[in-house]
Amino acid sequence: MLLTDIERAHIRRTWRLVEQAALLETATKIFYDDLFATHPEYRDQFPKDLSGQITKLAKTLDFAVKSLDWDSGDWQGGAVERNSDLFYILTAMGRRHQRLYRVTNDQYGPVGASLLTALDLGLGQAFTPEVKTAWTKLYGLIAQTMQLGAVMRTPEDRAKAIQGATS
């Protein structure tokens, strides 16, 4: 399920559109409105004041677009080099999501769906079926890597486990 060159180009082009047309504020609003309308039970996990969220959504999408430059082999777990920054950033982000924000694996689907809704309504006609497929694949890869991070043990976890076993 890796992205083709054409799919990468679709994502880069539509992300530029979002940035240039100052669509981010609208897209952020659509994203949260849709997420909390379809899943009101998620509301309490997020801060009361959502005004800082535009930056977070922008960071997330920007990050997703940057990840396109990652070597495709890197997405395939075992082949990851120790210096693959993106892999460590994503797995750490997945761990924060699980441990700090209490995010469960089943929440990645609805969040992805609301993100696609926001891109669809924000981009209008530019959101063709091909563009949708490309963003869906990219979100899937990022979500999978974050979920992997949530179950990976950190060096600190291992140290604690050893301490626990010997004390």
Longest Cα–Cα distance of the chain, Å, equals 63
Question: Which residues, including other chains, have CB under 8 Å from residue 36's CB and lie 6 or more apart?
Answer: 42, 43
**Which 63-102 positions form the footprint of ligand HEM (CB under 6 A)?**
93, 96-97, 101
Residue type, 51: S
Q: Does 58 bind ligand HEM (CB under 6 A)?
A: no
Please select the residue that binds ligand HEM; options are 56, 153, 158, 160, rule is CB under 6 A. Answer: 56
For the record, the structure tokens of 95 come out as 């761990």
C-beta of 99: minimal distance to ligand HEM in Å?
Answer: 10
Q: Which stretch binds ligand HEM (CB under 6 A): 26-34, 121-129, 136-144, 157-165?
A: 136-144
User: How many residues line the site for ligand HEM (CB under 6 A)?
Assistant: 20
Q: Which is nearer to ligand HEM, 59 or 153 (CB)?
A: 59
At which residue do the structure tokens 């530019």 appear? 126
Q: Does 47 bind ligand HEM (CB under 6 A)?
A: yes
**Cα 53 to the center of its chain, rounded Å:** 14
Q: Does 153 bind ligand HEM (CB under 6 A)?
A: no
Other beta carbons within 10 angstroms of residue 2's beta carbon come to: 11
Cβ atoms of 34 and 114 closer than 8 Å? yes
Cβ atoms of 128 and 134 closer than 8 Å? no
Applying CB under 6 A, which residues contact ligand HEM? 42, 45-47, 53, 56, 59-60, 93, 96-97, 101, 103, 107-108, 111, 139, 142-143, 146
